[in-house]
Chain A
Amino acid sequence: MEIPYEVTPRRDTGLYNSKLAVWLFLASEVMLFGGLFSGYVFLRLGIQDGVDNPWPWGLNVHKGYVWLGFINTLVLIGSSVAVVFAWVALKERNWRRFQVLMYGVVACAVAFMCIKSVEYHSKLTQHHGIKLLDNSVMEGKIVDGTDKIRFEADKVSFSLQGALPIFLREMAEDEFPELTLEGEDAEIFTSKGEFSKWFYRSRRETASALATERKRYRSELAEGIKNPSPVSVSTSATVTASKPFKVNGNPRTVIAHSDSAMNYRDGSKVEGSLTSDDVVFEIHEVDMQLVMPTKQRDSIIWEVIGDENAKKEFFTKQAKYYETMRAYYAPRGETIPEKMLRGHKLNLHYVHVGGDHGHDDDHSGESHDDKEHHGEEVHTSESKPSASKLEKDTGHHGTITVPRDKIKFMGNHGPRYGNYYAIYFTMTALHGLHVIGGALVLLYFVVFGKKMFLKNPEHLANRVEVGGLFWHFVDLIWIFLFPIMYLL
């Protein structure tokens, strides 16, 4: 059985099957990315000034990395050109040229992904932000692990229904203490595996005990007994540890904690003593866009930073910024719009804390940030949260301790950090998947295409044309992604 029009185009439609298919597929891709772009526009325009996180200015986010994006654009365009020429080479029946060009394309794809991962890495590991209760924001870097609630536990209680208790994931891998089950059959667990095996077993047992009890209850009801004794099966368990063990509570999984206990969102509870819950933060910049201009001077952020110079510097810079705005608006006989003073248009309220006051904003690229903060002292709980003081160090930035109860939100510049970051990561990652997919297909053509080239070169040319169409589309998407994510 032969499917017609696999190679030659059909007369009335002028298309061979796979070309038609790829255009259809691209149509659905247009809708896919169209949906994402709609989301971008909707979220960006939907921001309520002073309520939602402002949409950062692409240039500001990427600073030193704009050039990486730029290079990536060139790389993709170059690869697009190469694909066209590879196709032409096939049309001219020149296998050698095709081969060289196609490997070039794949190399471009690899380069693109490498550059991309540099960007991702920097955002995910080098940049953090903390939003305080009054919505003032500090940008910088959370010193390793201090966003976790460090806890020494000696007793855990948890439910025997549902999934494995969370604490298990958050204890240090190497030191599993001996856990002893409270109750009559005091079992002892010496490893995570042992514990989880026991957990699953007793979850089954609990379930069946519950089932039996309920069955009794129902049948007693059915027999007409007025108030049968209620179903009672204990569905929770408690274990105690032979020695206190460390648990690093992720603030996203811990819903409440005190000096002696930590409550997880799955209902389990860890008891023991709090080692420290201070967040040690290497502060780079202060961002006040979400605070009313009239309240900026009394913001709690100044208390947290505890550095008069920083405050002064911030407001000097702000004044300078207002000056440039006035220079624009005054000649036009307008006043500076409220939005410009504090809305999402304003991204310049950044300040450097600590030494080096002459440092200029525009050159503080992310790349340069990465290098300068190695070997910094990790501050632990010696300093009391309220008495946090700015500590000078050898670099440009100071390290401060932020009391956890003043924090509204914190995180790295990953997708969680705000809608800009969310859509940036979603779209570029999806685009990256397309790059990988496209590159694999093209690689397949050049690696395994020789046989087809000898047998039916037109067929291979068609395939390359179709693969190329997809590749151009991927390029086309990036052409839009670059300005909207990096520049505007």
Chain B
Amino acid sequence: MSAVTAEKNEQSHDDHHEHYEPFWKKYIFSTDHKTIGIQYGFTSLVFLAFGFFLMMVMRWSIAYPDRAVPLLADWPWFQAWLDDGGKVTGDLYNMFGAMHGTIMVFLGIVPLAFGAFGNYVTPLQIGAPDMAFPRLNMASYWLYLLGGVLMFVSFFLPSGAAKAGWTNYSPLATTTDIHYGNLFWTGQTQWLMGMVLLISSSLLGAVNFICTIINLRCRGMTWMRMPFFVWAMLVTGFLLLLAFPPLEVAALMQLMDRMAGTSFFVPTGLNVSGMSFDAAGGGSPLLYQHLFWFLAHPEVYVLILPALAIVSEVIPCNTRKPLWGYKTMVYAVMVLGFLAFIVWAHHMYITGMGPAISTFFQTTTVLISVPSVILITSLLISMWGGSIRFTVPMLFATAFIPMFGIGGLTGLPLAFSLADLHLHDTYYVIGHFHYVVAPGTIFGLFAGIYHWYPKITGRMMSTRLGHLHFWPSLIFMNGIFAPMFFQGMAGFHRRAFDGGKAYEQISTQVFSEPNSFLSNICEILHVIEPDAPLRMIDLNIITSGSAWLLAVFQVPFIINLFISAFKGRKVESDNPWDATTLEWATPTPPPHGNFASEPVAYRGPYEYSVPGADSDFSPQFESDPSSLAPAEEQTAKDEATAS
């Protein structure tokens, strides 16, 4: 097939050069969803790298609380936050911790997953010329950038950036830096301003996505012919749309608390540093937590669904098999989206909720693992019996499954309030959600980058560098996060800037058993630090070492990303992976307006190895003579069953 379409597209390339746009309009203030997607992509990768940098400093302080920070101690801004000996102070750790979380979640993963991939791929996959509201789309990006810049600039204020954790719990967050003369120009307040911008950006984006998916599907693109990626985007859009406003409320209220002196979240009789806090009181810190987690739980699905969806595009394409249980997955993702709204208080078991309500939340939390397991199992089964091509995206997609699995399964103990009493706020929790978002989501996103790169640039990324990126990343990701489970179960508290020196005594006992599984593992330590006494606390060294090495092995990726755009192997056709979905029907790279001729979806999204077909894939955009009903009739029928 591809020879024909490729030729056709080749011609249509030329008709699309009619209107030239000035540079700034084409690349900077662009309304083209693809350009905006790329803008989102680059910005968020920069923020991811920045969040990563913050984390590396934190990891130093955890592993070597007694040593001066290397390399950076002489940097003027930085040294002001260190103590005289050049060690990380609690303030700096809190600041970096809070901003690492915030940046990774709101400025890194969500914009990359939803903003970049969603923007670039969704309209292509449903055969739309652009998003429903291109200018709104541009506005979301610029709001996002503004919010990000505000967050970044807040580091350089006299008060530094926000320090109260990414959760920004009141009354801590309300009273942090309260001694500054002008509260507006403190990091804590700027965090709130930044959040208001980011939330507005996400809301605009969500409206746009949902509209596009509902109203701009091309001819023949019925609900059940939408690729799973589009479904995931739809659900993600709704999660953002309905979950973010309560956080906006919380941010506004906290802003009022800080700036106007209200006491929404300030309880009566609050004392701060031994002085009674000057506010009317009567507020409720718990209200903040409810509003925050009402967003933040759905937010974790916003973090994971796009990655999962990317993986479910990559897997069928590389196993040359249909996605197993496509319909089940669609329903599962909808159920998951629904349940995501009524589980939030599982983050709040230890706030003294009544047993009845906490039973409710335990039940819903356990329930939500059902659709999650359906999704991940379907992906696993999709690989069964396929003739797998282990391309680089496929490697990442394959690794995603067990990593996400570990993250998910270790979440189950946290769902039960009894177990959570012990595990809450320990490194176990850190390990759990990082397995989901770091080796999980980030691997999914890497898979997406390697997968769609040829469509975006017309060149393939280097496989060799890809391998050099993948294998060390896999190893070191686990090196970072696996030890956290053990430490957490031993009671290591999170957010301890000295890495839990206070736990030294407990940890000696745990490792005193010779030849236990753990102590054997910890022999690795002797490779790194020959004198290390092998205590639980010394696992920090493995974790931190892995984190820095992980950073080193992102270098091949960065090189690959830039060099391949110029030096990579040119794609031979518009569909280099022999994939089936509509984005591969466009010219490469797709022009403004996307499709050369009006796209039509003739069949389901994952028709690989259809018995009797000429090739092992039957793209959606290829008409199927044997199909019983023409596209329109099928549309009508599907709609009838859907409603």
Contacts and interface: CB of A to CB of B under 8 A. Distances in A.
Interface string B63-87: 0000010000110100110101110
A264 B182 CA distance: 12
Contacts of B215: 4-5, 10, 13, 15-17, 20
Interface residues of B, number: 67
B29 interface: no
A78 interface: no
Given A21-B133, A29-B245, A5 B635 contact: no
B261 interface: yes
A13 B158 CA distance: 54
A39 B282 contact: no
B440 to A, nearest CB: 28
A423 B278 CA distance: 18
Interface string B542-580: 000000000000000000000000000000000000000
B35 to A, nearest CB: 13
Interface string B265-276: 000110000010
A165 B130 contact: no
A117 to B, nearest CB: 17
Interface in A196-220: 207-208, 210-211, 214-215, 217-218
Contact of A31 (B85, B245, B256, B593): B245
A430 interface: yes
Given A17-B133, A211-B80, A422-B263, A28 B244 contact: yes
A2 B129 contact: yes
B188 to A, nearest CB: 14
Contact of A1 (B68, B279, B593, B635): B593
A35 B253 CA distance: 11
A58 interface: no
Interface in A409-435: 409, 411, 414-419, 421-423, 425-426, 430
B207 A21 contact: yes
B17 interface: no
Nearest to A9: B215
Contacts of B207: 21, 24-25, 28
A425 B262 CA distance: 10
A446 to B, nearest CB: 22
A426 B252 contact: yes
A163 interface: yes
Interface in A304-360: none
Interface centre among A1, A34, A231 (most CB of B within 10 A): A1
Interface size for chain A: under 10, 10 to 19, 20 to 34, or 35 or more residues? 35 or more
A416 B268 contact: no
A419 B264 contact: yes
Interface stretch (A45-53, A62-70, A98-106): A45-53
A24 B210 contact: yes
B158 A28 contact: no
B185 interface: yes
Contacts of A218: 68, 73, 84-86
Contacts of B73: 218
Interface stretch (A140-148, A247-255, A380-388): A247-255
B529 interface: no
Contact of B264 (A43, A214, A217, A253): A43
Contact of B639 (A12, A42, A421): A12
B281 interface: yes
A391 interface: no
Contact of B287 (A39, A230, A264, A265): A39
Given A1-B593, A15-B215, A21-B211, A416 B206 contact: no
Contact of B253 (A166, A215, A426): A426
B80 A36 contact: no
Given A21-B211, A42-B287, A165-B181, A255 B85 contact: no
A252 B278 contact: yes
Contact of B185 (A1, A24, A38, A163): A163
Q: Which 9 A-B pairs have the closest CB atoms?
A: A52-B282, A35-B249, A422-B262, A1-B593, A32-B245, A35-B246, A31-B245, A416-B261, A166-B181
29 contacts: A13-B215, A20-B211, A20-B215, A24-B206, A28-B242, A28-B244, A31-B244, A32-B249, A34-B246, A38-B246, A39-B249, A39-B287, A42-B290, A43-B287, A46-B287, A52-B268, A53-B268, A208-B76, A214-B79, A214-B84, A218-B85, A265-B178, A266-B179, A409-B280, A415-B256, A417-B280, A421-B262, A422-B263, A426-B253
Interface of B: 68, 73-74, 76, 79-80, 82, 84-86, 129-130, 132-134, 158-159, 178-182, 185, 203, 206-208, 210-211, 214-216, 241-246, 248-250, 252-253, 256, 260-264, 268-269, 275, 278-284, 287, 290-291, 294, 592-593, 635, 639
